[in-house]
Amino acid sequence: MTNEEHYIKLLEKSRNEDIIAFLQQLSVDERKALAVPVKKLAKEYFAYQQNGNSWSSKANEKQREILHYSFFACYNKKEIERENPTWLLSREHLRKLLPWYCPSWLNDYVNSFAEKDWLPYALDYDYLIELSNDRLLQPLPRLIARKLVSAIFEQKDKKQLFVPEKLLKHAATLEEHIWYLFQYETNIHTASNWLYGLEDKEQQNWETVLTTFVTEGKIDKHRILKESLLAANRNFNKSLSGWFADLFWRLEPSVDDAVALQPEVFNLSTSPHSKVVNAALQGCKAIYDRKEFCASNFLDHVPVLLTSD
């Protein structure tokens, strides 16, 4: 029996429990050769056809698993991008595949989502970092930032739970990754909007996480104050820029904090967003009567400020 015949038999009989062993014993060239019939079979099994008043594909759940595992083991980068099997990128599936085969395209494929409008739900932040620690991936900072946003929420028994303690699992999260949130555009400002089942949604969000971590000394206050000001003026969208400006004041900076961050406060006055400019004015009002107030630097920004809507 040829490899193709054996494969077709496994697929037809939905023997998903045997597909890993079959693919694993093939050589690289044999898996590459198998890609051709896999493409034909995938087209046949995934094609939707009308059955009465409904539409469905030929493939059952086990056959879908067989075909997706075959994509991973047999396809090259172009082929995998064309098929785009994001369903595979979960701990449940990759733990069966990566111990014996890590394709050369995996890192580029996963990182490609850093710039896309949507992210593969299957690959969460926790597993992404585990794969990075195991040197199986080198995730881009923006991908890490975008995945980190949802890390404080967890779904269990069809309910959403607020679990900020998960951010303490990996040392790199608070040492490095959390600062990516201030450097790359994400949906951190709306992260809890779409969630359901949270008992106190108003307090279960990133604002609460960051302010709590500052209070507990887990995050350096001066650094997050500075990063908030820089992020507010980083050409992010209007809502996100305003969110960072609000975060600065929610962290309750002292007058000394505002004095030390004068350059960053002054620079906010050049923002095209009114909430950000108002944050700059609020900062100036807090320190204008201090001897450390750099009046000349402030006056340099006045022409731009006076032409602001």
The pLDDT of 149-165, averaged and rounded, is 87
Strand partners, 48: 57
Both structure tokens of 88: 């595979």
The pLDDT of 140-157, averaged and rounded, is 93
Q: What's residue 270's pLDDT?
A: 87
Give the H or E element holding residue 9. Answer: helix 3-12
Q: What's residue 112's pLDDT?
A: 95
CB 45 within 8 A of CB 63: yes
The pLDDT of 46-75, averaged and rounded, is 89
The neighbour count for residue 238, using CB atoms within 10 Å, is: 13
For residue 134, CA distances in Å to 94, 96, 122, 130, 137 come to 13, 15, 19, 6, 8
CB 94 within 8 A of CB 88: yes
Residue 53: is its pLDDT beyond 80?
no
Please give the backbone phi and psi of residue 273, each rounded to the nearest 5 degrees, phi first: -105, 125
3-state secondary structure of 55: strand
The pLDDT of 88-98, averaged and rounded, is 95
Q: What's residue 242's pLDDT?
A: 95
CB 168 within 8 A of CB 162: no
Residue 241: is its pLDDT beyond 90?
yes
The pLDDT of 130-149, averaged and rounded, is 97
Q: What's residue 140's pLDDT?
A: 98
Q: What's residue 106's pLDDT?
A: 97
DSSP tally for the chain: helices H, then strands E = 18, 4
Helices (H), 167-205: 171-172, 178-180
Burial class (CB in 10 A: 0-12, 13-18, 19+), 88: buried
Q: What's residue 101's pLDDT?
A: 96
Please give the backbone phi and psi of residue 266, each rounded to the nearest 5 degrees, phi first: -60, -40
3-state secondary structure of 1: coil
Return the CA Rg of the chain: 26
Both structure tokens of 268: 């906010």
pLDDT tens sequence across 183-231:
999 999 988 776 665 566 667 899 999 999 999 999 999 999 999 999 9
The more confidently predicted of residues 48 and 18 is: 18
CA–CA distance, 215 with 251 (Å, rounded to integer)? 9
Q: What's residue 194's pLDDT?
A: 64
Residue 138: is its pLDDT beyond 70?
yes
Strand partners, 49: 56
